[in-house]
A and B are shown apart, each in its own frame.
Chain A
Amino acid sequence: MSQRPRETLEEFRRRARAWLAAHMPPRPVEFNYGDWNRQRELQRTLFEGGFAGICFPEEYGGLGLPFAYQEAFTEESMDYEMPLALNSPTLGIIAGTLLDFGSDEQKRRFIPRILTGEDIWVQFLSEPTSGSDLASVTTRATRDGDHFVVNGSKIWSSGAHAADWAICVTRSDWSVPKHDGITVLLMEIDQPGVSIERIVDSVGGDEFCQEFFDDVRVPVENVLGEPEQGWTVVRGLLAHERTTAGGGSIYTSGRSPRLNTKTQSGVLELAQETGTTGRGEVRQLIGEDYTLRFVQNATSVRVMRGIGTGKLPPAASALLRLMGAQVPVRRTDMALETAGAAAVVWRPEDLASRAGAGAIARQQPAIGGGTTEMALNLISEQLLGMPREPAADRGVPFDRVRHNTAPRRKG
């Protein structure tokens, strides 16, 4: 099958357009990110139609096509319901990291199950005591024969309750500086010793989770990369995270409408709902809203092309991460301003009500996926070459560094 000559981009686009129309449901007014079985079904449909993993290598179940084909598919998919909740972390971050650091055996085992929608993945990165300073994790992995035994806790892992597997960042050597003692494990979630609690966020959502590990056994073959070399893997993972957050991943498929300049502007819709499209100050916001979406798209294209051609270093993905926070934060403010008094009461069908709730969750895109402060550090240090901050733990064995102690299990 792989022997047949590659379709041209236009042929592919036409075939994708016809297939989408025949097989994918129309785009719902609002995506239900919480319906995980629906996400699996949609992904399964893509896979069976031969449109899953467009940029993934063929030997792991993908199509092995250039990014332009994925972009064409995404453009064609904008009117259809797509499994968007799988884009991050499963496809953009996890699959990207597995492809970079997994053994051939790991890739053959895990990637096809991601592309078919069988496995949903989650990241076990942050801990109650380690956030931006991710290398200070204290989840303990102790070698016991051909297993690691894991104890500790992870937090802010969105969708963990519905996930099958996790990438889990642990500390396996405490006698060396913090970056040198980290081991990354591929952990099956449904197993003895893993318990998950859901955390209700500030707008009532419950996708956030906290996990507790009590003597969880992970076979040595599930180490990603090499033991104690895990920081390299984490850095690669974080780069995929920034790229995905900025809308520039080659592994994701489809995108939510906020990145599409062709759909109506959020502020414009709100202004139409509130009957204020004729007001000068509102019209200014309508213009700004379009501008933000245009610039965010243009910046994604520039940074991804720049990284691809080597004119920008990989750390330039931090620019996309930063933009991926600044744009929605500003748009949230503009939506609130346009909504006016209607924002303080809850009528689920009204955009104005949602603008009120949006203001409560305003900082979410600036915190989730690594805080913008870390992106600012990365841009200034790695893109601009400015000196790093002094740190008290550099070169010091972790067990001699002052750090937060792991919390005890609740209850």
Chain B
Amino acid sequence: MDVDLSEDQEFFRDTARKFLEAEVPIETVRRLADTPAGFEREWWRRGAELGFTSMLVPEEHGGASLSGEGLLDLAIVAEEMGRRVAPGPLIATNTVAAAIAGAGTAEQQAEWLPPIVAGERLASWALTEPGGRWETHDLALEARRVDGGYRLFGAKEPVEAAADVDWILVTARGEAGPVQALVPRDSEGLAITRLESLDLVRRHDALRFEGVFVPDASVLGAPERAALDVEHQLQVALVLQQAETVGATERMFESTLEWMFDRFSFGRPLASYQALKHRMADMKLMHESSAAAVTAAARAVQAGDPEAALKVSAAKVWVAEKEPFVLQECVQFHGGLGLTWEYDLHLYLRRATTNRMLYGTPRDHRERIARGLGADEAKP
């Protein structure tokens, strides 16, 4: 967690934590794992009442942040959701809200944002394509110009919760750069196939676009700015994703530390062995530095820092590798118990691993940094 929260933010964090503890205890998460959507809309609306969908939306469309720095406030929610491996497309919906707030026309904002803020409508972002392609210069899904709009041809997968949300923001390849459009889930020519997912409650789908028609009124942003819009969405999604992973890891690190005091071997608690203490100390640094990286990246995005793209990628590289490592060590310290279905560790490991692989892997982001620093690709 950010060590620099205001009193308001601290209060909000406590409220969010209590709400999630009451609404989605781990037994509920396990129960939802056996339902089709993995979350309930009624619950989502109650979260929206607390502000889970309003932080990145301007006030005139029903939005509100605590501090005036909405991304920092929303990162608090993402972290608390991580602590509970909570269900619901928090990152996806808020990223789409940020996209509409950033690039939408006045009409689009007035039409789309209030129902998202109210929790009545949910949205997801279809970026990644089969083969793991996700960068705008690499996309294959085609937006073909037709009279009055575009037709979309191609595939997206995995897309979070596509079958359960109302709107899907599609990032496609246009003739002169990316084209983005908000597409209703039940559009003609759009086939959605549910996939089995690594996460127990976060669902993913495979989408096929066979000439889905998108009217101009649903196209988001000016074509010449679309690449910048996508970059901003990506930064928002990555900050929230890393914040969630940090929250998930923090919870398991705490419970593993407790376990090490309770578990005795050779007449001593595990916590007394220097070989294990030193590993826990290393893990503590990995975790604290991960939390630090998220805060620094969130501030950079919020402030429009020209280095924000690099910093967000660096945060992804670090958090997405270090925190899952910490969780694997937690499994190791639990022995056989850590490998069971019954024990909760794997739920957290599933969430952190899912976050690790989406919106670019650490390897992808190291490459993105090298490119951003101007390292010449033409050299042998």
Contacts and interface: CB of A to CB of B under 8 A. Distances in A.
Interface in A262-315: 262, 264-265, 268, 271-272, 275-280, 283-284, 286-288, 290-291, 294-299, 301-303, 305-306, 309, 311-312
Contacts of B293: 294-295, 298-299
A380 B375 contact: no
B33 to A, nearest CB: 32
Nearest to A304: B3
B277 interface: yes
A286 B281 contact: no
Given A295-B318, A298-B293, A303-B288, A381 B277 contact: yes
Interface stretch (A43-51, A171-179, A383-391): A383-391
Contacts of A272: 375-376
Contacts of B281: 322, 375-380, 383-384
B40 interface: no
A282 to B, nearest CB: 8
Q: For the side of the interface on A, what is the size category?
A: 35 or more
B310, B315, B317, B368: most-surrounded residue (chain A CB, <10 A)? B317
Contact of B369 (A271, A290, A379, A383): A290
Interface string A362-397: 000000000001011111110110110100000000
B289 A295 contact: yes
Interface in B3-32: 3-4
B140 interface: no
A280 B367 CA distance: 8
A326 B371 CA distance: 25
B373 A268 contact: yes
A306, A316, A378, A386: most-surrounded residue (chain B CB, <10 A)? A386
Contact of B3 (A262, A291, A294, A311): A311
Contacts of A286: 366, 369-370, 373, 375
A278 B288 contact: no
A379 B284 contact: yes
A261 interface: yes
A278 B380 contact: yes
Contacts of B317: 287-288, 291
Given A294-B314, A298-B295, A386 B271 contact: yes
A376 B278 contact: yes
Contacts of B367: 280, 283-284, 287
A268, A288, A312, A383: most-surrounded residue (chain B CB, <10 A)? A288
A387 B271 contact: yes
Interface class of chain B by DSSP: helix
B325 to A, nearest CB: 13
A384 B284 contact: yes
Contacts of B378: 278
Interface in B70-88: none
B48 interface: no
B260 interface: yes
B315 to A, nearest CB: 8
A322 B285 contact: yes
Contacts of B278: 373, 376-377, 380
B322 to A, nearest CB: 9
A87 B264 CA distance: 46
Interface string B89-133: 000000000000000000000000000000000000000000000
Contact of B280 (A268, A316, A384): A384
B264 to A, nearest CB: 12
Contacts of B311: 261, 294
Contacts of A276: 379-380
A247 B122 CA distance: 44
B369 A291 contact: yes
Nearest to A326: B285
B291 interface: yes
A297 B282 contact: no
A283 B375 contact: yes
A279 B380 contact: yes
Given A275-B380, A299-B288, A386 B280 contact: yes
A301 B277 contact: no
Interface in A214-273: 261-262, 264-265, 268, 271-272
B356 interface: no
B271 to A, nearest CB: 5
B269 A387 contact: yes
Given A275-B380, A286-B373, A302-B292, A386 B285 contact: no
Contacts of A311: 3
Contacts of A261: 307, 310-311
A302 B3 contact: yes
A384 B288 contact: no
A139 B289 CA distance: 39
B377 interface: yes
Contacts of B368: 287
Given A284-B367, A384-B284, A277 B277 contact: no
Nearest to A320: B285
Contacts of B284: 319, 379-380, 383-384
Given A279-B380, A287-B317, A290-B314, A299 B369 contact: no
Contact of A386 (B3, B260, B365): B260
B296 interface: yes
Contact of A377 (B277, B310, B363): B277
B64 interface: no
Contacts of A381: 277
Nearest to B278: A376
A236 B139 CA distance: 56
A271 B272 contact: no
A323 interface: yes
Interface of A: 261-262, 264-265, 268, 271-272, 275-280, 283-284, 286-288, 290-291, 294-299, 301-303, 305-306, 309, 311-312, 316, 319, 322-323, 326, 373, 375-381, 383-384, 386-387, 389
27 contacts: A275-B379, A276-B379, A277-B370, A277-B375, A277-B377, A279-B379, A283-B366, A283-B377, A286-B369, A287-B370, A294-B311, A295-B292, A295-B314, A298-B289, A298-B296, A301-B292, A305-B4, A311-B3, A376-B281, A376-B282, A377-B274, A379-B284, A380-B284, A384-B280, A384-B281, A386-B257, A386-B272
Given A276-B379, A278-B377, A380-B277, 13 more contacts: A261-B311, A262-B307, A287-B367, A288-B366, A294-B311, A295-B289, A301-B292, A301-B296, A302-B296, A377-B281, A381-B277, A384-B281, A386-B277
